[in-house]
Chain A
Amino acid sequence: DVKVTQSSRYLVKRTGEKVFLECVQDMDHENMFWYRQDPGLGLRLIYFSYDVKMKEKGDIPEGYSVSREKKERFSLILESASTNQTSMYLCASSLAGQGGTGNTIYFGEGSWLTVV
């Protein structure tokens, strides 16, 4: 079974802190994604990556950056956390594309971030 593991399930950070959210997948997938999910807004794509050291902005990249130094690992960085970044963050991976060829996206369990 595909496993996508997010390092932290629940975090509480102070405004202005730097936050790292780590994600590791064990299926040798090329593609990895970071989403945030807020009530009533659905899943919103922050960044994605199709290859090592490669990154593409999603719909809401402002205030975030990412790093993909190894194929299996994709990190989301909040350089200076703000209260409007309080949310659930979901990491995901897929074999190719975002599912356009029917390749399923697999999600991690999510990281609940609260910024106070």
Chain B
Amino acid sequence: GQNIDQPTEMTATEGAIVQINCTYQTSGFNGLFWYQQHAGEAPTFLSYNVLDGLEEKGRFSSFLSRSKGYSYLLLKELQMKDSASYLCAVTDSNYQLIWGAGTKLIIKP
């Protein structure tokens, strides 16, 4: 079967750095997305990786290793507004999106 694993919940301190991991086992691979979802709101796009390596976008970076079936989202200089759930999703060989259950990130002052 197809599977995406992310930690259920993480806690970090304002101003710090946090890394949210995502491992996947899918039928083929055509890209990986990270979305942010604040409580009670819709998910919003953060990043897309299709090649190995690091993609940096301001305070957020996303890394992909296709050989390891692994990605992480790195958040720097954490702010209280970063408290949200972070969803990892992989596009398989049929271009179907497989979603992880999401990681709830709690930021403490």
* Inter-chain contact B97/A99, CB cutoff 8 Å: yes
> Which residues of chain B from 34 to 80 have any CB-CB distance to chain A below 8 Å in the complex?
40-45, 48, 50
Q: How far is the CB of A55 from chain B (nearest CB, A)?
A: 15
Contact B102 A42 (CB under 8 A): yes
Instruction: Assess whether B87 is interfacial by the CB under 8 Å rule.
Output: yes
Residues of A within 8 Å of B89, CB to CB, are 43, 99
A108–B95 CB distance below 8 A:
no
The winner among A43, A105, A108 for most chain B CB atoms within 10 A is A43
Measured CB to CB, the nearest residue on chain B to A43 is: B99
Number of interface residues of A (CB under 8 A): 21
Residues of the B chain whose Cβ atoms lie less than 8 Å from the Cβ of A105: 33, 45, 97
Q: Contact: A42 with B87, CB < 8 Å?
A: yes
Query: Is B97 within 8 A of A98, CB to CB?
Result: yes
List chain B residues, Cβ under 8 A from A42: 87, 99-102
Bound-state CA distance A90–B40 (Å) is 11
Decide yes or no whether A109 CB sits under 8 A from chain B.
Answer: yes
Q: Does B91 contact A (CB under 8 A)?
A: yes
Select from chain A the residue with minimum beta-carbon distance to B32. A99
Whether A107 pairs with B95 at a CB distance below 8 angstroms is no
A108 vs B42: C-alpha distance when bound (angstroms): 6
Q: Mark A94-107, 1 if CB is under 8 A from B, else 0.
A: 00011111101111
Which residues of B are in contact with A by a Cβ distance under 8 Å? 8, 30-31, 33, 40-45, 48, 50, 87, 89, 91, 95-97, 99-102
